[in-house]
């Protein structure tokens, strides 16, 4: 693995942020799998309405992604207690939940399959979630 210690400081920061974002994307992929799986079970198998099932699926995936991000993506960062970070993460990601939910419901009403609409909503919410969690929840 290439060491960034000899890089100029701005280049090293970009390289570090890129590695962290790659970890975040992997964790997000796991969270998306949890989200999609729960959404499919609740809607596709249990017959629950998408509008009600989506927040449940997103919330459960938020729990999984917080744990993975805390222990892997940002394990070297963060101030205060884990409870404080969990509350901040939950607050930030709740707005992400609304972004995902609104996108999903809007696209489904336009005729897009709910699972495809959920992927699009999750992608948009991921940009919000990463930006604010990197800057606030796990700041240096």
Q: How confident is the model at residue 2 (pLDDT cuts 50, 70, 90)?
A: low
Q: How far is CA 27 from CA 21, 33, 46, in A?
A: 10, 10, 27
Measured distance CA(17)–CA(100) in Å, rounded: 24
Full DSSP string of 17-85? HHHHHHHHHHHHHHHHHHHHHHHIIIIIIT---HHHHHHHHHHHHHHHHHHHIIIIITTT---S-HHHH
Q: How confident is the model at residue 69 (pLDDT cuts 50, 70, 90)?
A: very high
pLDDT digits (tens, 9 = 90+) for 116-127: 999 999 999 989
* pLDDT at residue 33 tops 60: yes
Q: How confident is the model at residue 83 (pLDDT cuts 50, 70, 90)?
A: very high
CB 65 within 8 A of CB 31: yes
> What is the structure's pLDDT at 78?
74
């Amino acid at each position: 693995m290439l060491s960034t210690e000899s890089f100029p400081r701005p280049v090293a920061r970009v390289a570090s942020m890129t590695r962290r974002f790659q970890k975040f994307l992997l964790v997000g992929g796991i969270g998306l799998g949890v989200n999609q799986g729960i959404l499919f079970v609740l809607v596709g198998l249990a017959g629950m309405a998408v509008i009600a099932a989506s927040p449940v699926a997103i919330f459960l995936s938020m729990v999984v992604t917080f744990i993975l991000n805390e222990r892997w993506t940002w394990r070297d960062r963060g101030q205060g207690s884990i409870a404080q970070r969990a509350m901040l993460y939950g607050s930030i990601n709740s707005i992400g939940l609304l972004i995902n939910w609104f996108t999903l419901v809007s696209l489904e009403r336009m005729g897009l399959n709910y699972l495809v609409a959920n992927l699009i909503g999750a992608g948009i919410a991921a940009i919000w979630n990463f930006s604010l969690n990197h800057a606030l929840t796990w700041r240096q």
